[in-house]
């Protein structure tokens, strides 16, 4: 239960960190909050030769206003920072609602947004939420920058589009449309555990209370966060009824293909996904109508 | 292979320590083995149990998920620093004693560090808030009820 030997380098700037990664590639790992990487190193599942500590690069953390009214979150921003920011919670109620489900207070004090997303655990909440919010990921190497949509970032379990010399430096969250209600729910074995099924739902209504947009994403039911928004196509254009929402739940159950585990069979996951779809859409709908 | 050693300066419970550590030394092991502060307990060593919780600049963190070398220039607080200078118990320690909040005691240092930091921010918590704050610390003896009682009693006492 001790990490294998490695060489530790505390990067002093983003440029320093990226030049080290360019030099060492896959032999090196970035160390952000360490709440996923350190356990795997303690178990020796990960044995990086070089550890590039990002924690002293202050410019990598913090929340900045986005170009079109949204927000840009630095990769080194800790969950706790988001949790304590009431303005952020107001702007992104979906994230605020999910944060208490993400591990425990001690973990949230250290864990970072960029670390979580780069780790890309399919049972983790944040990847599914960034997918629902249509987040844009800013990636950078020593030589160039590029942007990737959340829908193109997660390629498989613990696998992302990040190249060996690349770092996720910022997450750009667009502002939701007016009259959008959101809801995050999950079923886990214990508070703070990874979800057996988690759902992030967003519903936008038009002037006549007709549904104009729906985002429906899941964690825990596949190799990546799953976008099942198409299951709600039938809702678009009409005022959502209870019956129509039940049909969406059935359609979600047909779309997803959960893997099952020792803790929950695939059938059980599919059942829970249906139940959560109904509840989350009803809640999101109620929230738009209540005006929050 | 030569070991990758680093000189670090760390403040633990207000005392400044200078040590040379190997980069792979976990903060939990550094506290216990190098500084002989064995009050910080090590349970699962992968961030699940909470026994190793210490305060990093006043915030509870898992010391098994941090490297000692990362504590450089930071303030660490451990269970050894919880009593005041003349050895009097922190109100939460006293309340844990009064309410039979521990049995084997293995989880207790982590729980005390987590909950004293929690009470420092919220002196009037509801029972639900206490349970939420406790959720990252496993106790296999008590069933938590007496710990929750102790935290609520300590909060009441600290409110005065």
Distance between CA A7 and CA A19 in Å, rounded? 16
Could you read off the pLDDT tens digit of each residue along chain B, which spans 160 residues? 689 999 999 999 999 999 999 999 999 999 999 999 999 999 999 999 999 999 999 999 999 999 999 999 999 999 999 999 899 999 999 999 999 999 999 999 999 999 999 999 999 999 999 999 999 999 999 999 999 999 999 999 999 8
At B116, which CATH number? 1.10.150.120
CB A33 within 8 A of CB A111: yes
Name the segment(s) of chain A with CATH classification 3.30.43.10. 7-53
Distance between CA A147 and CA A161 in Å, rounded? 11
The correct CATH number of A7-53 out of 3.40.50.720, 3.40.50.150, 3.40.190.10, 3.30.43.10 is 3.30.43.10
Placement of tokens 């099924």 in the chain: A197
Would you state the pLDDT for residue A69?
87
Are residues B77 and B104 part of one domain? Answer: no
Would you state the pLDDT for residue B2?
80
By C-alpha distance, the chain B residue nearest A108 is B61
User: Cβ neighbours of residue B61 under 8 Å, at least 6 residues apart?
Assistant: A106, A109, A110, B53, B54, B55
Would you state the pLDDT for residue B1?
60
Contact B50/A at CB under 8 A: yes
Contact A121/B at CB under 8 A: no
For A138, how many CA atoms within 13 A lie in the half-sphere containing its CB? 13
CB-CB: which of A6, A109, A191 is closest to B24? A6
At B63, which CATH number? 3.10.20.30
Average pLDDT over residues A185-191: 93
Contact B53/A at CB under 8 A: yes
Q: With beta carbons under 8 A apart, name residues in chain B contacting A191.
A: 132, 135
Residue A115 clears pLDDT 70, i.e. is over it:
yes
Average pLDDT value for chain B: 97
Q: Classify domain A58-173 at the CATH topology level.
A: 3.30.465
Q: With beta carbons under 8 A apart, name residues in chain B contacting A106.
A: 50, 53, 60-62, 114, 136
From B148's Cα to the closest Cα of chain A, the distance in A is 16
CB-CB: which of A8, A35, A55 is closest to B65? A35
pTM over 0.90: yes
Could you report how far apart the first and last alpha carbons of chain A are, in Å? 47
Interface test with B, best of A1, A105, A111, A124 (most B CBs within 10 A): A105
Name the segment(s) of chain A with CATH classification 3.30.390.50. 180-290
Structural domain for B38, as ranges: 5-81
Average pLDDT over residues A38-52: 97
* pLDDT band with cut points at 50, 70 and 90 for residue A67: confident
Would you state the pLDDT for residue A292?
64
Burial class (CB in 10 A: 0-12, 13-18, 19+), A20: middle
Would you state the pLDDT for residue A291?
84
Contact A124/B at CB under 8 A: no
Quote the DSSP letter at residue A78. B
Closest CA to A186 of A285, A274, A100, A101: A101
Q: What is the CATH number of domain A180-290?
A: 3.30.390.50
């Amino acid at each position: 239960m001790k990490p294998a030997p490695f060489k530790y380098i505390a990067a002093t700037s983003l440029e320093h960190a990226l030049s080290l990664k360019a030099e060492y590639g896959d032999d090196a790992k970035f160390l952000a909050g360490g709440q996923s990487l350190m356990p795997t190193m303690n178990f020796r599942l990960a044995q990086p030769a070089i550890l590039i500590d990002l924690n002293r690069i202050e410019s990598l953390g913090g929340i900045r206003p986005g170009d079109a009214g949204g927000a840009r979150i630095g990769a080194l921003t800790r969950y706790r920072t988001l949790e304590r920011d009431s303005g952020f919670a107001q702007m992104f109620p979906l994230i605020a609602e999910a944060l208490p489900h993400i591990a425990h207070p001690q973990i949230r004090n250290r864990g970072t947004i960029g670390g979580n997303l780069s780790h890309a655990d399919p049972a983790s909440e944040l990847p599914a939420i960034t997918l629902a919010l249509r987040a844009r990921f800013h990636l950078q190497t020593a030589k160039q920058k590029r942007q990737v949509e959340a829908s193109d970032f997660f390629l498989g379990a613990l696998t992302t589009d990040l190249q060996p010399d690349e770092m996720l430096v910022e997450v750009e969250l667009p502002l939701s449309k007016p009259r959008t209600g959101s809801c995050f729910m999950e079923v886990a074995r214990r508070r703070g555990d990874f979800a057996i099924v988690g759902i992030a739902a967003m519903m936008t209504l038009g002037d006549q209370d007709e549904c104009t947009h729906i985002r429906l994403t899941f964690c825990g039911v596949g190799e990546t966060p799953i976008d099942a928004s198409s299951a709600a196509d039938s809702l678009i254009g009409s005022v959502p009824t209870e019956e129509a929402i039940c049909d969406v739940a059935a359609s979600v159950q047909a779309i997803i293909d959960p893997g099952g585990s020792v803790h929950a069979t695939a059938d059980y996951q599919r059942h829970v996904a249906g139940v959560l779809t109904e509840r989350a859409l009803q809640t999101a709908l109620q929230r738009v109508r209540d005006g929050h | 292979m030569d070991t990758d050693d680093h000189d670090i300066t760390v403040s633990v419970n207000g005392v400044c320590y200078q040590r040379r550590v190997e980069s792979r030394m976990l903060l939990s092991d550094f506290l216990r083995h190098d500084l002989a502060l064995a009050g910080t307990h090590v349970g699962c060593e992968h961030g699940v149990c909470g026994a190793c919780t210490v305060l990093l600049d006043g915030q509870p963190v898992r010391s098994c998920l941090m490297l000692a070398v990362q504590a450089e220039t930071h303030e660490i607080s451990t269970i050894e620093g919880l009593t005041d200078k003349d050895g009097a118990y922190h109100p939460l320690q006293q309340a844990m004693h009064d309410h039979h909040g521990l049995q084997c005691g293995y989880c207790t240092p982590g729980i005390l560090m987590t909950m004293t930091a929690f009470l420092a921010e919220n002196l009037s918590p509801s029972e639900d808030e206490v349970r939420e704050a406790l959720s990252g610390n496993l106790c296999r003896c008590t069933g938590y009820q007496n710990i929750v009682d102790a935290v609520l009693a300590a909060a009441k006492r600290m409110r005065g």
